Structure formats: C-alpha cells, structure tokens
Amino acid sequence: MARHDRRVVVTGLGTVNPLGADVESSWAAARSGVSGVGPITAFDVSETVTKIAAEIPNFDPHDYLEKKDARRLDRYTQFFVASTSQALEDAGLDYRGDDEAATEVGAIVGAGLGGMHSFIEGLDTLRERGAARVNPLTITKLIPNMAAGYASIEFNLQGPTNCTVTACAASANAIGDAAEMIRRGIVDVMVAGGSEAVIVEFAVAAFNSSKALSTRNEEPTRASRPFDAGRDGFVMGEGAATLILEDRDHALARGATIYAEVVGYGMSSDAYHVTLPRPGGAGQARAMTMALKDAGLEGSDIDYINAHGTSTPANDRTETAAIKTALGDEAASTVAISSTKSMTGHLLGGAGALEAMLSVLAIRDGVAPPTINYDEPDPDCDLDYVPNVERPMEIRHAMSNSFGFGGHNVALIFSAPEA
C-alpha cells in the first residue's frame, strides 16, 4: 500500500565528480558517454597494481571556502560543501542569518570511509615526526560524520543532522532516511547526499588485495565496463552530490522548481558475506520490492533503473537476477537499465547520491544515459543496459540501486512531478 503522509520532492541539485564541477556539465558528459577515468595523479603508483581512477580534475576548495576553513577540512568534506552550496542555490534556499527557519532544515550525509587523506597524513606524521607533531585537527578531519556536521555549521542547518555509514549504500540511505524525516513531519527541508575522497595509495592497495579493482591500466577510459563479459573489477572514483528534499506543499507555497518526487525507499540485508552479494540476489530484490511497495507501484511501472552496476563479475550478475525477481521477468526484459559507474567510476559512499541525481535528471529530460564500454554481452547479464549511446524516452518512474559491503541493499524510486 502506498504511503499517505507528506509527499517529498527534489527541489535542488549539486555535485562535483569526475565528469564535471556542476550539475549540468556532469549531466551533459554522462549523456554523451564521456569517461572520467584516467591515470592516477594523486600519488606515485609505482607500488600499486591498479594505476587508474576517476579523479576530479582541478578541484579548488577555495571556490567555496575561505583558505583557513579549507585547511581545517578533509577533501571529502570540501567536496560536500561544494555540492551543497550548489544545491541550496539551485533550490533558492539560504538559512544563514535566519535561525528560526533554520530549525526546520536538517542534513543527512552518507560516507563510506570518511577523511582518508587526513588519516594517512596523520599516520605519516606520527611515524616520521613523532606523536607530538600530529595535527590537532586530525580527528575532526577524518571522522565520517564531519561532512554533515560541517555542512550544518556552514549553512546554518539546525534541524536533525546525521551520517549514514553503510559502505557503498551510504548516500542512498541518507536520501531515504532524509525523505522519511519529511514524510513524518519532523522538518520541512532536508539536505541529503554523500561524499567520498579515498584515492590514496593505502585504499587502492587494500582494494587490490581484495581483488576488487580493475587492472586495465593501459585502457583507463575502457576499464569500467559494467555488465560486459570482459569486466574485471570496479574503478575507484571520488566526489559528492547533494539533493535538496522538501515537503511538496512547502515547495509549492514558495514557488520552487520541482525536479521529481521521492516515492519509494526500500532496504534489506543479504546476511551472507562481508563483500560478496548473496547468490541469486534475493536480498537486493527484497530492497527493490520494498521500494515498489512503498511507492504503490508495480514492477511494470518502472521505466528506468540506474543500476549499482559496479563492473565486478559477482555484482553485475547478481543485480541482473535481482531485477528479474523484483520486477518480474516480463517487466525486467523491457526496462532500460544503465550503470553510470561506467563513466564516473565508483564513488563508494558518494555513489548513491550521484546516481540518484542522475536518475532525477533522466526523468527531467526524458533520457536514459548509456552504459559505456558495453561491447561483449555476458550470458548471465541479459537485460537492456542502454549500451554505449543515450536513449531518449519518457521516464515517469526511475529506480536507483545501491548495494554495499556487509550486505547493505538500498533501492530508491523517483517519479516525475506530474506522475
């Protein structure tokens, strides 16, 4: 049965990611099938097996922060301040200097690992220069909740503030949880999203040890290839995305532009393995089914799915099976599916927010972005993955899937405003 409490809409978007420094440039690149993957420049790759990633080129935190403030923040928090500044401006909202209104807006931010740059910097300082020289701001720079905490300080968000840390499902959880806050009438507006900045030698080495990353170093732009038979692992990405969620009546009363409505949220646990999905995708399918039930929709109502689609052999096979289970074989055979990770890489804790944003834009413009590098079909991945070229189509209802290490499964459903 569909929910009958307050309706939640998306009224603002913001992002910095490997495809662009703002929403429209990122969306144009995604529609065009541009890859953001290239050789790693953040550190010396001579000791790592994987030497490629999807970095953000030329990011300057001083575009959004004073120098003294930027120095106090890890890269992942800087990313989130940038994306949130864009999103609030896009929504036409500013709570600085308005303490009364500020109590009606909160923030929930997803992060997988948090301030990894600051963590490594602190360890290096400890080992090379001694305990007394460790930066006193190290803890506040590295803890995963600081993106939410600092955003609330920077933008005067005095309502509920929280951090979801569910690996690669974290920012999808943040969006779903924020929508629930509004549905229940706790606040009128929520800042929701995620951020990650973990392109450091330690993280790449650790993921290499777990055999999770692509090693297609000679062809970086072709390395992330979800659902393709030649896939060999995911490509690490970095960045942030922010969605402004708002009570629909509140948005209409102030004349806000509405991109889409958040209509469904489902989550489950595989209860199976710390990294591998449960074979057959029963847990993932359960999250999708819960989201459909929450939205009051059938599987056949879904026009587009932004898949988790990591480009790892196990995930892509399992997600394909899960989509068939959740939507039914007939609906699954016709739904348009794409993995934008083929272009952005995998933003880990920030992935769900970026992919939710792209799903909303797909609804707005009536275009399914492509899955690039899809050259050789995998017999176990036999659905319509919008190969290599964007597809103009009416999208009334879009699903965005996010699955994380530990068995965390999240599905979000967005609908066109008129739907």
Residues classed as catalytic: 168, 308, 346
* Residue tagged 């490629």 (tokens): 52
- The Cα 358–Cα 377 span in angstroms is 24
- Tokens describing residue 405: 């290490």
d(CA 390, CA 369): 5
Quick one: how far is CA 1 from the chain centroid?
28
- If we measure between CA atoms, which residue out of 70, 74, 64 comes closest to residue 15? 64
Nearest CA among 52, 56, 29, 30 for reference residue 40: 52
Cα–Cα distance, 319 to 85 (Å, whole number): 34
Q: How many CA atoms lie within 13 A of 292 on its CB side?
A: 19
Q: How many CB atoms lie within 10 A of CB 105?
A: 26
Residue 33 CA, chain-centre distance (Å), reads 18
d(CA 5, CA 69): 40
In this structure, how many other beta carbons lie within 10 angstroms of the beta carbon of residue 317? 20
100/93 Cα distance (integer angstroms): 14
- CA–CA separation, 305 vs 29, rounded Å? 19
Q: Around Cβ 411, how many Cβ atoms within 10 Å?
A: 32
How far CA 92 is from CA of 5, 18, 254, 282, 382, in Å, comes to 25, 26, 10, 41, 43
